[in-house]
Amino acid sequence: MSVFTIEAGLALLGLALLLLEAFKPDISRRTLGLTAIAGTTLALVLFIFAPHDTASLPGFIQPWHQLDSLAIFYKGFALVITILVLWLTLECAPYLTRFTVDGKLAEMFSLPLIVCAGMMWMASARDLVTVFVSLELVTVSFYVLVAFARKSAFSLEAGVKYLILGALSTGVLVYGIAWIYGATGTMSFDGIAKALANPATSKTTALFGAAVLLCGLGFKVAAAPFHMWVPDVYQGAPTPVTAFLSVGSKAAGFVVLTRALDAFMVEGSIIGSEIQALLLVIGSLTALLGSLPAMFQASVKRLLAYSSISHAGYLLLALACRESARFDLSSGGVVAFYLATYLPMTVLGFLGLGLMRANGLGEDIKDFTGLAKRNPLLALLMTISFASLAGLPLTAGFLGKLFVFLGLADHGYWGALSCAVIAAAAGFYYYFKTILAMYTTEGTDVPALTFSVPAKAVAGALALVILILGVYPKPLQKVLTSDRPAVVAK
Amino acid sequence: MITLGHYLVVSGMLFSLGLAGVIARRNIIIVYMCLEMMLSAANLALVGFSRFHLVNGLPDYTAQSLVFFTITVAAAEVAVGLAIIVALFRSKQSVDVESVTKLQG
Amino acid sequence: MSVLELIIALPLLAALAIWLGAPARAASLAATSINLILVLYTAVQYWGKTGLAFTYSRPILENPSLSFAVGADGISIILALLTTLVMLAAIWQIHDRPDIFYVSSLLIGGGALGAFLTTDIFFIYAFHELALIPTFLMIALHGRAEPAYRKAVAWKATIYLGVGSLVLLAGLVWLVLEFSGGSKLTFDLEALRSQARLNPLPDAKQAQIFFVLLLGFGSLVSLFPFHSWAAPAYATAPTPVAMLHSGVLKKFGLYGLIRIALPLLPHGAHVEWVQNALLLMLLGNILIMGLVTIHAKRLDDTLANSSVMHMGYIFLGIAAGTEIALKGAVILMFAHGISIALLFGLLGRMRNQLGTLEYNKLGGLASHAPAFTVLFAFGTFASIGLPGLTNFAGEVLIFLGNFTDFKAGVMTNLQWTVILALWGVVMSAVYMLRAYRSIFHGSPATGLFMIDPALSQRVPFIMLAATLLVTGCCPWLLLNLMKSAL
Amino acid sequence: MHASIILLLPFFSALVILLGHRQLKGAAVLISVGSSIISFIACLALLAAADDKENTKLLLPFLDIGYLHANIDVLIDKQSRGMMFIVSFIGMLVHIFSLGYMKDDDAKPRFFGSLSLFMFSMTGIVLAGNLIMMFIFWELVGLSSYLLIGHWYQKASAAEACKKAFLTNRIGDFGFMIGILLLFGANGGSVNIEDLTTAFGPGGTLGIHAPGHSAGFTTAAALCIFLGAVGKSAQFPLHVWLPDAMEGPTPVSALIHAATMVAAGVYMLVRVRFLIEASPLAAEIIAGIGAVTALMAALMATQQNDIKRILAYSTLSQLGYMVMAVGAVAMSVQHGHELHGPNPGHPAMFHLYTHAFFKAMLFLGSGAIIYACHHEQDIWKMGGLRKHMPVTFYTFLIGTLALMGLPWITSGFYSKEAILGAAYDSGCSILFHSASLTALLTSFYMMRLVIVAFFGKSRTDSARHAKEVEVIMLLPLVILAVFSVFSAWKTFADTLQAYKPAHEEPHATVLFASIAAFLIGTGGAIYLYRGKDKDPINIKLFANKFYFDEIYAVIVRVCQDRLAWIVTALERVLVDGLVARLPTAIVARLGAATRMLQGGHLQGYTFLLGGGVIAVIYLVVFVLPRLGH
């Protein structure tokens, strides 16, 4: 079975669940949720055993889709995050239903499948048309998901903000695509790379197009100054959706960005150095604008939103560093590695938030007070998550940051490196602030918190992944470097 | 003779007007209409580029295919977007952008 | 599998076991005692040898090449010995406290052991950071002050150390990039060293990198002017944390300079501007912090500031960079670690029993608590640098090491600095003896009352004092472990 | 072999007693006294095995890296053998005396432990074969002195005195260490005394005629080393600790603060006299400091009322004498007067040797008096003790006469005359005159002491009821009295390997000055003080010790405590402010400012987004290409 078939099947399953809920309203959300999880898990299993090369795709799709190691990695990534989000939704269902119409959750289980399919297609995209279509599939589904708990004023507000700003960015993106096409006369990344390597191509047109396109994509990955939506939307959206946005949507954005930049910054590109400089500027700015405001947040959820901006900054900086002869991971590889480390720690963070929410607690730092006493395991796991987000060594988060720093230093981008260091230092403050609250004991005679066994198991597994990746990253590196063909003809 | 430049200037003006509207207007419905205008500007640019990019003496149609996708996506966006705006109106009795300022800081 | 891996793993496993429900005191004492025996075993095995021993490497990443590589030479073994001794004492003296005291002590100690016994820069760095988290949490949560104040103190320390570590990371990354050579980035210290021997960098560049490392490592060691976190943190920290951090973990920065910076950048410290900067900073440590210590009105302030001050001497050894001075620096690191841990441990008991450490409320304790007084005297005179206790051997070697290239009649900046630093020895006698006088001497009726701790509670302090005496009378015990040229 | 017994026996004794005295109880005393007796016997064996060859032997390793050999190695020569005899002999006697004197003390074991520690440290100084070893033990005698002065630490004055003694010595050690470092560096890594002697000797690399000789360096090294002696031997201006050190038990004052430890500075200066002889300036300064100390202390002694303090100032004065002799001898050597003989004696060492006996005797005698008078120390509250304590009186009188230098009979006469001779030979008449004046004052204040304390009628009850002390305390007095008289005699001195100058007939002027000083001083004291109940003279300046303590208190308050206060304030405000608080404040301000961007208004967001797009386009299309990236 080809990978494409699996993706299509996933999307169809999503549709089917949607219809099922519409026509058979008495179906329990548990059944729906478990079906979705089972379907995605099946897809994951099938995906693992499916042939992993472009030739295995159906012929009609091959001009638009490809299967390189990056694509495979991101597809797997998308499946894993979808499963986790579905499960988290199920776990948070009791409190989520309070904010939905009629206490229904059906779309919360079906739309993620469609998003997942969209992300998987995005990972394979070979040209801008595919990128646009799959990106919009994801974005439009997210409009619904963000505003889903619409009885909650926050969720609705987040939905409106995401809608307007997202649509604005779509407009910018398409306009950028138009100009790129105008400059290069093609939509495919290979073609664009070839045209940009040709000195005869109009540099100004290409620069204009690339700049606008990057603005559009920058919105998706929360790059400054297009990050304004992130804190509000992340805070307002239901927690599982926030996790999905922060990991899935961001990863999807970055895979597209990687592809686009591989084309823009191909060897001999006429616009390569400008784009690189832009990335450095934006990356530094993003890291700082994510970290600095985060220091004064009272809500952990909003704090994680800012943290996600800051991480986007590091990722952009990683993208700015093109391949180094001394470094096996290409910039795309570093980004993928970073995202792979980012997944467990962020999901674990949101998982903890969701679990606390499900226990009737708020999302503010003060709600974390005394967590260590109320549930030592959860406190430990959250500590691991935050420590990793802060980039403490022996956790996965440190390696990602280390690679970014290594890349920057290797290329001699000292200015960007100092910005990244300042951002990381500020990061220590706000992550540790939360950790400290968890272990503070004064004034906590609140009852112990309890969680289901699967919740413990999943959280524990994520923490374990963080620690294992932190001290034994070799397997992940293998996956990312195994057979990666040159994305672009050089 | 109408050249590519004419198309691009019109498209650019359309885009700018749309952007200005998005920034300046307070009614979300109108903001949404301005967003559609920006998409149209992009479509115009695409069509224009496509018309003047000749492959084997014929215009290149890949860009025009994207225009169709854009129109479709815009329709989907409107469907979802209006639903959300209606929900907003129901809960706030207003479609003013200033009615959604609770999340901040 | 190397014995060193076992040494690193034991405290961490014990911490895990306690978290899972094992009896805290028994588990941590067992783990640290076994560890002490293991470290002594390695010391005996290494006796008189040179080079790296007990090496073992497990690659965890190919390119950049990272591996969990352990290995020890004399310096590492001496510092591991310091760690296990202080850890055992710190854990032993815990009395009637929650389990987190044991767990954090084990984590800090385990982190320090990891930092001292691994030979991959990545893990050297990583283990040190690991040890910082419990330090931070313990100061903020169980420190001896108002919650708001102790949190502020913890924050200050953490931000300082965090920023310092990031600067350090930048410096280490720079090192790795400069010395990896060829086609592969490596974090392996030995590989970097051999590369540094083959292709040394130009002096100017060495100086730049050295300076970045100096700032990074320096702020971890409270090098002036990056020291203002240290005194309040030690004064506030719970006893075992104060013992372990000031005694052991702080030595990491110095260890890093000696193990990483100096061998890779042999000329870095001697380029004029770097050397002058270092000398000014360490004089700040010695003279300015000496005066600040003299001004202190409470025992915890005195000890905390003195610990900052004494770092200046070790930096002096590093600034000299000669073999004699460096060996002196290592001995002084060991000595200072033991003596300050002893003093902080005793201070903790005093604070528990007396409730105050202000000099004008104390006096005459020698009459009530003679054994306690003798133990405190060991710490006091060790800090003063009295011969017969280890600190003297370290200090005198550092001073001598600065004069090995002396030409009659021509004094270098380094040598002028030594002379000024010697005045610091006088100052440390001033404040330590003032403290000793106001706490222990005087009429028994003048101060608050305390009695000697029970014998079993005295054991850890006796162990530390005995270490000071034995290695102080026979510093060659330590020197024999450092046969290899530095 | 002997050397290791002498050195290590007291060490183990001290270790065992200090660490386990609560378990040992009475046995501690036995261990300490026993070890002192065995040491003394070993010293006699050392004397018996005497040959004049000097040899340095490695005893124990200490620090041995590369070419640095700072080990415990002993230099056995005539100087160290003679000094060793004094130390172990007087040490043993003081141990025995203490058996009686400290009988009722609660902390007897601690006292004897510290005493053993002192014996160990002092032995180390005497035997030291290199300067680092000497420094090590130099510091250790400081510690034992600290412990012993502070033996009655419950008394505030004792607690302050021991601190003061240690700190003042620290200042001296500061210089000593610098001197050692300079010599270490210049001599290529060896601070072995024999090596240094060779290096500074004729044909050596550092001698006065060597090409590498640097006058500035030599003077600096000599003066730095001398600073060590200034501290330990309580020379001006670091003399202030010694009178306060009298807070310690009297046997301690006898042993440490009169006979041995304070003389260590002189011993050390004689050890390194090659260095002083290589620098004329240093020699002059040393002689000058010695003379000033001698004269000043003598003046102060004339107006003291505390018996131990009179003796303490007398000790200061005599130490000044010895130091002056070191300088004077060096000056005369520089003028071409070589000392005579194959192993020339040194006047300073000779005076040290005689002084040790009679001063120890005087202190022990005063101890007996204090013990008998129930810890009364004011001589004006004594009187008439001659009848109550005859043995003590006569021995005390012998000691006093020796100190005054009763011509031709007592040892003090010979050694003082040797020093006056050296001052005369130095070519500097001021030295000679001030030395003579000091001798006169010495006779005066000692006679004053004897008259006031022993003659006349008892002025208080405690003096009236004083009884002769027990035999175990008298025995050391008698033995020391014998030595006070005979120790300068040739046979005696030679057997004990005293460092006696092979002097020709004394110069007539010297002889005259010496005898005149004795007569005038004694006569004056008898005239002024006979039958007086209170002091007829009242010179505030002398009674208040030239106000040194007050001046130093001001210096410490201003230069140290006030400075510390200012520096602390600056450190908090400037260093902490600039390095820590300012950056944090900036970052915090930035954080707050960036938060303001996130106002929650959709229009604001769209504006920023649109503006961002335009900014990026402007940057990429117009700015970056110009920068030539």
Q: Tens of pLDDT along C415-472? A: 899 999 999 999 999 999 999 999 899 888 766 778 888 888 889 999 999 999 999 9
Residue A324 has pLDDT above 70, yes or no: no
Q: DSSP for D274-336?
A: HHHHT-HHHHHHHHHHHHHHHHHHHHHHTT--BHHHHHHHHHHHHHHHHHHHHHHHHHHHHTT
Gap between the Cα atoms of A351 and A365, Å rounded: 15
Q: What does the pLDDT look like over C72-88, one tens digit per residue?
A: 988 999 999 999 999 99
Instruction: List D56's β-bridge partners, or say none.
Output: D75
> Does residue A210 sit within a domain?
yes
Q: Which residues in chain B touch residue D603, judged by CB atoms under 8 angstroms apart? A: 23-24, 26, 97-98
Residue C255 and residue C307 share a domain = no
Q: What does the pLDDT look like over A259-289, one tens digit per residue?
A: 999 889 888 888 888 898 999 999 999 999 9
Q: List Cα–Cα distances, A329 to A54, A407, A472, in angstroms.
A: 22, 10, 16
Determine, for residues B73 and A132 on separate chains, whether the beta-carbon distance falls below 8 Å: yes
pLDDT band per the 50, 70, 90 thresholds, residue A461: very high
Instruction: List B27's β-bridge partners, or say none.
Output: B96
Residue C428 and residue C362 share a domain = yes
Tokens of A80: 């894993």
Mutate to test the interface with A, among C19, C121, C137 (most CBs of A within 10 A): C137
Mutate to test the interface with D, among B22, B35, B88 (most CBs of D within 10 A): B22
Average pLDDT by stretches of 10, chain D with 629 residues: 81 87 79 91 82 69 83 85 89 90 85 91 90 92 92 90 92 92 86 86 76 82 93 90 90 88 91 87 92 92 90 92 90 74 73 90 90 86 85 91 87 87 85 91 91 85 83 89 86 77 73 89 89 82 86 87 90 87 88 85 89 91 77
Q: Nearest by CB to D591, from A160, A215, A292: name it.
A: A292
Residue C309 and residue C243 share a domain = no
Q: Nearest by CB to B103, from D600, D606, D610: name it.
A: D600
> Does residue A81 sit within a domain?
yes
Nearest Cα neighbor of A195 from A106, A273, A268 is A268
pLDDT band per the 50, 70, 90 thresholds, residue C182: low
Tokens of C421: 């630093």
Nearest Cα neighbor of D345 from D488, D201, D135 is D488
Nearest Cα neighbor of C136 from C123, C150, C146, C116 is C150
Q: Is D74 helix (H, G, I), strand (E, B) or coil?
A: strand
pLDDT band per the 50, 70, 90 thresholds, residue A443: low
What pLDDT is stored for residue C273 in this prediction? Answer: 92
What pLDDT is stored for residue D408 in this prediction? Answer: 82
Provide the residue range defining the domain that includes A64: 3-481
Residue pair C369/C450 in contact by the 8 Å Cβ criterion = yes
Q: Which residues in chain B touch residue A101, judged by CB atoms under 8 angstroms apart? A: none
Which range (A33-37, A265-269, C90-94) has the least confidence?
Answer: A265-269
Q: Which residues in chain A touch residue C136, judged by CB atoms under 8 angstroms apart? A: 432, 436
Determine, for residues D609 and A204 on separate chains, whether the beta-carbon distance falls below 8 Å: no
Residue C278 and residue C254 share a domain = no
Per-residue 3-state assignment (H helix, E strand, C coil) for D21-69: HHHHCCHHHHHHHHHHHHHHHHHHHHHHCCCCCCEEEEEEEEEEECCEE
Q: Which chains touch C (3 or more CB pairs under 8 A)?
A: A, D
Helical (H) or strand (E) element with A353: helix A331-358
Q: Nearest by CB to A207, from D595, D609, D620: name it.
A: D620
Task: Give pTM, 2 decimals.
Answer: 0.91
Nearest Cα neighbor of D156 from C440, A255, A92 is C440
Nearest Cα neighbor of C341 from C130, C108, C5, C77 is C108
Residue A34 contacts D where some CB pair is shorter than 8 Å: no
Mutate to test the interface with A, among B7, B80, B104 (most CBs of A within 10 A): B80
What pLDDT is stored for residue C455 in this prediction? Answer: 85
Which residue did the predictor score with more confidence, C15 or B103? Answer: C15
Gap between the Cα atoms of A97 and A103, Å rounded: 4
Q: Which chains touch A (3 or more CB pairs under 8 A)?
A: B, C, D
Tokens of C259: 């193990």
Mutate to test the interface with A, among C124, C129, C136 (most CBs of A within 10 A): C129
Provide the residue range defining the domain that includes C397: 271-486
Instruction: Give the chain B residue nearest D602 (alpha carbons).
Output: B97
Name the domain count of chain A.
1
Determine, for residues D163 and C434 on separate chains, whether the beta-carbon distance falls below 8 Å: yes
Q: Is D248 helix (H, G, I), strand (E, B) or coil?
A: coil
Residue A166 contacts D where some CB pair is shorter than 8 Å: no
Determine, for residues C62 and A417 on separate chains, whether the beta-carbon distance falls below 8 Å: no
Residue A373 has pLDDT above 50, yes or no: yes
Residue pair A67/A52 in contact by the 8 Å Cβ criterion = yes
Instruction: Give the chain A residue nearest D625 (alpha carbons).
Output: A274
Which range (A473-487, C130-144, D312-326) has the least confidence?
Answer: A473-487
Determine, for residues A174 and B70 on separate chains, whether the beta-carbon distance falls below 8 Å: yes
Residue C212 and residue C196 share a domain = yes
Determine, for residues A436 and C63 on separate chains, whether the beta-carbon distance falls below 8 Å: no
Residue C284 and residue C260 share a domain = no
Determine, for residues D606 and B22 on separate chains, whether the beta-carbon distance falls below 8 Å: yes
Q: Nearest by CB to C292, from D19, D167, D567: name it.
A: D567
D 113-172 residues inside an 8 A Cβ radius of C: 132, 135-137, 139-140, 143, 150, 153-156, 158-160, 163, 166-167, 170-171
For C33, what's the count of Cα atoms within 13 Å in the CB-facing half-sphere?
A: 8
Residue C318 and residue C169 share a domain = no
b/e burial code for range B54-93 (CB count within 10 A of at least 16 → b): eeeeeebebbeebbeebeebbebbbebbebbbebbeeeee
What pLDDT is stored for residue A445 in this prediction? Answer: 63
Question: Prior bond to D583 cis, omega within 30?
Answer: no
Instruction: Give the chain B residue nearest D595 (alpha carbons).
Output: B105
Residue C278 and residue C242 share a domain = no
Mean local confidence (pLDDT), A402-423: 88
Nearest Cα neighbor of A126 from A71, A72, A58 is A71
Residue pair D162/D247 in contact by the 8 Å Cβ criterion = yes
Gap between the Cα atoms of C161 and C151, Å rounded: 15
Q: Write down how long chain B is.
A: 105
Mean local confidence (pLDDT), C62-78: 88
What pLDDT is stored for residue A484 in this prediction? Answer: 47
Gap between the Cα atoms of D138 and D118, Å rounded: 10
Determine, for residues C122 and A406 on separate chains, whether the beta-carbon distance falls below 8 Å: no
Per the listing, tokens 């400081």 go with D142
CATH number, domain B4-95, options 1.10.1660.10, 3.10.270.10, 1.10.287.3510, 1.10.540.10: 1.10.287.3510
Gap between the Cα atoms of D288 and D282, Å rounded: 10
Counting residues of chain C whose pLDDT is more than 70, the rounded percentage is 98
How many other β-carbons are positioned within 10 Å of the β-carbon of residue A450?
12
Gap between the Cα atoms of B52 and B58, Å rounded: 9
Q: Which residues in chain A touch residue D587, judged by CB atoms under 8 angstroms apart? A: 292, 295, 422, 426
Determine, for residues D599 and B101 on separate chains, whether the beta-carbon distance falls below 8 Å: yes
Residue C159 and residue C43 share a domain = yes
Gap between the Cα atoms of A406 and B32, Å rounded: 44
What pLDDT is stored for residue A489 in this prediction? Answer: 30
Q: What does the pLDDT look like over B33-89, one tens digit per residue?
A: 999 999 999 999 999 998 888 877 777 877 888 899 999 999 999 999 999 999 889
Determine, for residues A160 and B50 on separate chains, whether the beta-carbon distance falls below 8 Å: no
Q: Which residues in chain C touch residue A334, judged by CB atoms under 8 angstroms apart? A: none
Gap between the Cα atoms of D26 and D389, Å rounded: 30
Residue D591 contacts B where some CB pair is shorter than 8 Å: no
**Range ranked top by mean pLDDT from A356-360, A475-479, D19-23, D480-484:** D480-484
Q: Which residues in chain A touch residue C151, judged by CB atoms under 8 angstroms apart? A: 436
Name the domain count of chain C.
2
Q: Which chains touch B (3 or more CB pairs under 8 A)?
A: A, D
Q: Which residues in chain A touch residue C125, judged by CB atoms under 8 angstroms apart? A: 393
Q: Which residues in chain A touch residue B102, judged by CB atoms under 8 angstroms apart? A: 153-154, 157
Residue C331 and residue C221 share a domain = no
> Does residue A487 sit within a domain?
no
Q: Which residues in chain A touch residue D612, judged by CB atoms under 8 angstroms apart? A: 215, 224-226
Q: Nearest by CB to A387, from C133, C154, C183: name it.
A: C133
Residue A317 has pLDDT above 50, yes or no: yes
What pLDDT is stored for residue D557 in this prediction? Answer: 85
Q: Which chains touch D (3 or more CB pairs under 8 A)?
A: A, B, C
